[in-house]
Amino acid sequence: MADLSPPADSELAQAEQELARLLRTLGDGRREGRESMSLARLAKRSALPMSTLLRYLSVLTEAGWVSLEDGERGLQLARLTSTGAEQLDSLGSPQ
């Protein structure tokens, strides 16, 4: 049977750090002139496994902070929305 207990505080803190890192990675790309980034590049630059990246992107798109779009050659691209950029600004500098 699956464990349905809430995540431990350390797991929650890790998820928050990884989500912030993901937003920062998209923000860095934006500052470099990349309005959107392929999921493969995003996974590599954020050092997140693809399965984790996809789970986090689902949460961030639902929140309206990231949008996903189809790019050339069938690539799926992630882009920081203006709301996401505001959230990134509220995070301040990396720890």
**Domain boundaries defined on the chain:** 13-85
Q: What value does the mean pLDDT take over residues 64-78? A: 90
This prediction's pTM: 0.79
| Cβ neighbourhood burial of 92 (10 Å; 0-12, 13-18, 19+) | exposed
Reported confidence tier of residue 47, pLDDT bands at 50, 70, 90: very high
- Predicted local distance difference test score (pLDDT) of residue 73: 83
Res 94 pLDDT > 60: no
Res 95 pLDDT > 50: no
Looking from the CA of 19 toward its CB, the CA atoms found within 13 Å total: 20
Q: Are 88 and 80 in contact (CB under 8 A)?
A: yes
Joined together, the tokens standing for residue 3 give 């464990």
Determine the topology of domain 13-85 in CATH. Answer: Arc Repressor Mutant, subunit A (1.10.10)
Res 52 pLDDT > 90: yes
